[in-house]
Amino acid sequence: MNYWLMKSEPEECSVDDALAAPKATVPWIGVRNYQARNFMRDAMRVGDGVLFYHSSCAEPGIVGIARVASPPYPDPTQFDAKSPYYDAKSKPEEPRWLLVDVQALRKTRNLTLPELRATPELAEMLVLKKGNRLSITPVESRHWQRILDLAGTSSL
């Protein structure tokens, strides 16, 4: 099993939105970075653990535990000219952008960046590295377990 941290702006899709969705599952639309897309395409598997992270908000941080709920498939927003995620160069027969469905399992207290940075065992976590702005990053199993401990939960 792999583990991931996936960022979403709460105005776009919050953990509460995901939990309120049918089957608590949402399509992870709008990824427009090739490395993040490649993580979804090449490494994510159904059942992988996800740390649901709120970004671009007053207090960014990990706010929930989720799982990858589908294999990757073409992101339909790339073909919608009215979407902010539209990509005129992407064609339905050769889609450029993918998404996976993510199922929210539980909300956690907000594990904020200052708290994560103050936890020595998480010092090497990618989201805490200077200059890392990827919306999807792999999470090492030791970091995953420490986050679950901090969140007061034991597993997916």
Tens digit of each residue's pLDDT (9 = 90 or more) over 78-123: 999 999 999 999 999 999 999 999 999 999 999 999 999 999 999 9
25 forms beta bridges with 103
Domain annotation covers residue 70: yes
Domain annotation covers residue 132: yes
Domain annotation covers residue 134: yes
How many domains are contained in the chain? 1
Read off the CATH number of the domain in which 114 is found: 3.10.590.10
Whole-structure pTM value:
0.95
Domain annotation covers residue 127: yes
Which domain covers residue 53, as residue numbers? 3-147
Domain annotation covers residue 48: yes
d(CA 73, CA 127): 25
pLDDT of residue 131: 80
Domain annotation covers residue 155: no
d(CA 87, CA 84): 9
Domain annotation covers residue 87: yes
pLDDT band with cut points at 50, 70 and 90 for residue 5: very high
Domain annotation covers residue 152: no
Mean predicted confidence (pLDDT) in 133-138: 92
